[in-house]
Amino acid sequence: MGYEEPFMQLQFADPGWIKIDTAVLRVRGELSDIVLEMDRVLKDDAVHALCANLGISSAGFIFIDPVKQFTRFFDNDSDQQKTYHTEYLWQNTEAKHLWVDTVHRLFVQVREAQGQLQKSEATTENRTEDFFRYLPKDDCVDVYFGEAERNSRLQYTLHYVSLGETLFTMLAWRNLLAAVNFGLGETSLTGLDVPFDAALRLPLACEWNGASLLRMKYADEQNQIVELWHTVCNSTSTLSSVFAALGVSASEGNKQSLERRALVTFIAMLAEQPGTDFVDLPDEQLNLKIQALIPCFLRRLYSGELKEDVLASLHALERYARFPVMPFHVWHVLDGSPKCYMVSPVWTSQQYSVPVDDVPCRHLGLALCAVQPLSKIDWTIPELHGSPPPSWCSEAGPVLVANVIRLMARPLVEQHLYSSAVRELQLRLEDEFTTKTQNVIHRDGELAQ
Amino acid sequence: MTTIWTEFGFSQTPYRTTPLAPNDFDYELFTSRARGESASFLTAMDSNSGSFVIVSGDVGIGKTSFVNIQQHLLANGGAEFGPTLIPCFTSTPLGQEDTPVALARRFVHEAISNIERYCGQTNQSVPTACAKVREWMFSHKPMTSGYQITVGPLGIGRSVVVPPAVDATLETWRDVLQLLATETREHLSVEGFVVCMENAENCEIHDLAKLLMGYRDVLFVIEGIWWILIGPSHLYEQLTIADRRVSQRIKGSGIEMSHFTIEEFHDLIERRVKKYRKTETAVSPLSKNIHDLLFRASKGEVRFTLDAASTLVDTIVMKVREEVQKDHLRPVAPQVARAMLSKVLQKELIDKQIPDTLAKRVLSAEVRKYVEQHRKTSNFFEKIKCFASGSLTENDFEQVGYDKADRFRDEFLERFRAEGLLFRESREGQHRYSLKGFAWLANELSVDVL
């Protein structure tokens, strides 16, 4: 693939890059100091500008210690974090002011729920979180939509979810949620017909895969998540309003919007009708198409046996979707601009791995990112033919984005793995010396001459 | 520089043996004796124009520290009474080889340094006389005629005509000292400065008397200079016997420093631990029991106690470190292992205080080594068994195998007293000698050599 990086010069001159690079070379001390310092640097204006330029809407770092079976990630119940993230970039500054922290907490809650599920179901050591499941592992890509996507996953070792798939997943999820809301949870998915314009009843449970997302230490933060969810549900109280909020509605001359075109491109791929343009379908018809394709979509994501009722399908979608649907959906609706999910390895072990579907995954340090749709690798975004991309779309190359993210993560690599190993050795050394010293101090007889 | 003390959480050794200096920091380390020496000293110094004071006492009992702290109080108004003086930050040691003129040159040199330092500390301008005298003293220009040191505006003021420094006589140095003292009094809101001579024990008493006699009507009469002489026990009495004219110039009858009591010694250690520790919880590395033991061995010679304690801690740490490291096989960088071992030794040895049993074990081994060393060179330790139950006088010579009292005194008692192994005290007009230092410890710890 003859891909050319458009911004390769950036890394040597960009003030944001220099800020990060300088901090990475100078930051030292205890983990808490490093997290504080990197948090400060990543919120610097120059870094903010670099992220905006590259389309990195947020990036947080997760690390796994396979020996101690320890996962380093954010913890809503702790006042001292063991990892850091970039600033969340929003288009809508007013909404950002109101919701930025709560959206972050929602992401963390979903990760927490994923982790709990993995632990509770663990008949094996297999990791089941989306970031492990869908990240390419040693030239192996199990789930993909089309050769172009497969090739770019292999080439860049990234898990990037296209804009079309993101929108389709969100709409499928909202359809299933609506069906449950209308009391159709136990009906079969086949022939599902959820009213397109009927108002949904509140409150909808704030859950992920049947688990509450409100299990938090602080009541204030729980209330904020409830409020966030209700705000989103209020502003998207019908499926047609969901279409509008996600920018895929055909109304008001929006038929050719990039979001709608990305969605129909994905639908055509899923329906195995390449070349068929569903862009002219009325929204309600398009939604029926989406409802009809949900079983097919779930089978592409999961090859095992799935129950066919609506509630089970909702849980399956939450569980096997290739990105954390709820927080992405919430953020998209509140901010009014699409974000895609990207997972990029920031540290790959030569020695250790964690099993994922019985395949070893050696990528033990990952950046979990929300990015603006990356036009260079997003196969659902149509050619722009020279016209300027919308402001929510990034033309940055994936290699550059991954490199910037890796640089940001470097201090944690040492902290998490090297320091932890050194600390382990030091503890053993300390134990050994303490025992020997106590023996020498308390035994009888002369010391060495 | 890293020492075992900085390694173990002290800014420096709490067993510091160097004298306290005349400054605020060291003032807080000072343990005053309850026997009125301070008042006697200040009384002797209390004069408008200058005085000559003797401070005497046994070796290593803190005479210089005492003098320095009193000077500090006089310099910053902390003394209850007495003149405000520039302290002598650096004393002039007396030596057998020094001529009166050579010594006088050193007094001038030290006086300039002390004035400059004082001015630096108190943010005052150094009197111009200092620079001029320094220039004269260290001028390498060949001079056939005299040199005029003029101080005052536009070259009109006080002036002294002096020959080249190499040809300076005692009178020349007197004139220069007088100039410095006058300038100091006029410009620095002090009444003068201190010149301190120490190590008087290095001189024969008659030589010392002769030296002081030479200075008596030349230097000691200069207005604005306070002279202090630090020397061995009962120096004033010895000088009186040697030449009464010298002691006539001395203010009072000399300050004879008493030994620290054990309580005062514990206070001294506590102050140092508190001042030098980097953490609030730090304790002294050795227990009170071991401090007691060493203090008793020293017969009140605090320098010996501190030195022995410091050496003991050094030795214990070194030996424990060696033993622990002996079979260490874990493949880590030596500096990592060293750093970790330091941490463990601090935790197990220093922070928890070295157990008495370990301290005594190591102390016994060190005493044994010392004893063995002496056994090879003399028959001291065979004879010293006779002291085990108390003290001896020179008249007990037969018990120890000598044929005459004066031989026993000169060849044995005084010789080993000089080595710090015997302690001498005067009782009923007689010198009585008892074990001290390592000899006392050997007896106390029942080191089997004895």
Task: Say yes or no to pLDDT of A85 above 90.
Answer: yes
Size of interface A-B (CB pairs under 8 A): 60
Contact yes or no for A429 and B358 at CB 8 A: no
Mean pLDDT, residues A110-132 taken together:
85
- Which residues from chain B sit within 8 angstroms of residue A437, using beta carbons? 320, 324, 344-345, 348-349
Structure tokens given for B281: 């919880």
State the average pLDDT over residues B76-101.
90
Q: Please determine, for residue A337, whether its predicted confidence score (pLDDT) is greater than 90.
A: yes
H/E run at residue A304: none
Q: Mutate which of A428, A433, A434, A442 to disrupt the B interface (most B C-beta within 10 Å)? A: A433
| A442 reaches B (C-beta below 8 A) | yes
Which residues lie below 8 Å from residue B426, measured CB to CB, with a gap of 6+? Answer: B432
Contact B344 A447 (CB under 8 A): no
Answer yes or no: do A442 and B362 touch at CB < 8 A. Answer: no
Among candidates B38, B79, B103, B25, which has minimal Cα distance to B190? Answer: B79
Say if residue B153 is preceded by a cis peptide, omega within 30 of 0.
no
CA A356, distance to chain mean position in Å, is: 17
Report whether B173 contacts B136 (CB < 8 A).
no
Least confident of A203-217, A347-361, B370-384: B370-384
The shortest CB-CB distance from A433 to any of B341, B361, B365 is to B341
As a whole number, mean pLDDT of residues B148-164 equals 68
> Residue A9 pLDDT > 80, yes or no?
no
Helix H, strand E, coil C: the string for B265-328 is HHHHHHHHHHHHECCCCCCCCCCHHHHHHHHHHHCCCHHHHHHHHHHHHHHHHHHHHHHHHHCC
- Tell me how crowded residue A274 is: count the other CB atoms within 10 A of its CB: 9
CB contact under 8 A, B322 and A429: no
Determine contact, residues A295/A190, Cβ cutoff 8 Å: yes
Chain A residues whose beta carbon lies within 8 Å of the beta carbon of residue B332: 425, 429
Q: What is the pLDDT of chain B when averaged over all its residues?
A: 87
Instruction: Return d(Cα A251, Cα A240) in angstroms, integer.
Output: 10
Instruction: Tell me whether residues A429 and B337 touch, CB distance under 8 A.
Output: yes
The answer, for A443 touching chain B at a CB cutoff of 8 Å, is no
CA distance B413 to B392: 9
Confidence check: pLDDT of A139 > 90:
no
- Judged against a pLDDT cut of 80, whether residue B335 lies above it is answered with no
Please report where in the chains the tokens 């005085």 appear, as a residue. B51
Q: Which residues contact B425 (CB under 8 A, 6 or more apart)?
A: B391, B431, B432, B434
Phi, psi at A162, each rounded to 5°: -65, 160
| Least CB–CB distance from A433: residue in B319, B322, B340 | B340
Residues of chain B numbered 7-26 and touching chain A (CB < 8 Å): none
pLDDT over 90 percentage in chain B: 47
Considering only A41-55, A255-269, A309-323, B426-440, which range has the smallest mean pLDDT? Answer: B426-440
* B409 token code pair: 């005194």
> HSE on the CB side for A426, CA within 13 Å?
14
- Chain A, nearest residue to B369 by Cα: A449
Query: Distance between CA atoms of A96 and B59, rounded to whole angstroms?
Result: 79
Count of residues in chain B: 450
Q: Judge whether A240 and A249 are in contact, CB under 8 Å.
A: yes
A205 or A310: which leads in pLDDT: A310
Give yes or no for A437 touching B (CB within 8 A): yes
- Res. B227: pLDDT tops 90: yes
For residue A8, pLDDT beyond 80: no
Dist CA B67 CA A327 (whole Å): 77
Give the span between the Cα atoms of B277 and B283, in whole angstroms: 8
Q: Does A379 have pLDDT greater than 90? A: yes
Compute the distance between CA of residue A415 and CA of residue A422 in angstroms, rounded to an integer: 10
**ipTM of the complex model:** 0.75
Distance from A435 to chain B by nearest Cα, in Å? 9
Q: How far apart are CA B446 and CA B438, in angstroms?
A: 12
Q: Average pLDDT, whole number, for chain A?
A: 89
More confident residue, B246 or A172: A172
Average pLDDT, integer, range B49-53: 92
Q: Please list every residue in chain A whose beta carbon sits closer than 8 Å to the beta carbon of residue B372.
A: none
B365 touches chain A (CB under 8 A): yes
- For an interface test with B, the pick among A424, A436, A439 (most B C-beta atoms closer than 10 Å) comes out as A436
Q: Is A437's CB within 8 Å of B345's CB?
A: yes
Q: Do B336 and A426 touch (CB under 8 A)?
A: yes
d(CA B10, CA B341): 17
High-pLDDT (> 70) share of chain B, %: 92
Closest Cβ opposite residue B355 in set A436, A441, A448: A441
- CA dist A337 and B421 (Å) reads 91
- Give A414→chain B minimum CA distance, Å: 17
**Joined tokens for residue B361:** 């074990």
On the question of pLDDT at A54 being above 70, the answer is yes
Task: Look at residues B167, B230, B170 and name the one whose alpha carbon lies nearest to residue B194.
Answer: B230
AA identity, residue B290: I
Count of C-beta atoms within a 10 Å radius of residue A290 = 25
Say whether B88 sits in a helix, a strand or coil: coil
Is B349's CB within 8 Å of A426's CB? no
* pLDDT above 50 for A1: no
pLDDT of A11 strictly over 60: no
Strand, helix or coil at B280? coil
* pLDDT on residue A2: 42
Q: Does A7 score more than 50 pLDDT?
A: no
**pLDDT per residue over B166-194, tens digit each?**
888 999 999 999 999 999 999 998 999 99
Which two structure tokens, joined as six digits, stand for B95?
Answer: 């030596």
Give the largest Cα separation in chain B, rounded: 79
Kindly state whether B349 is in contact with chain A, defined as any CB-CB distance less than 8 angstroms.
yes
pLDDT for B215 = 92
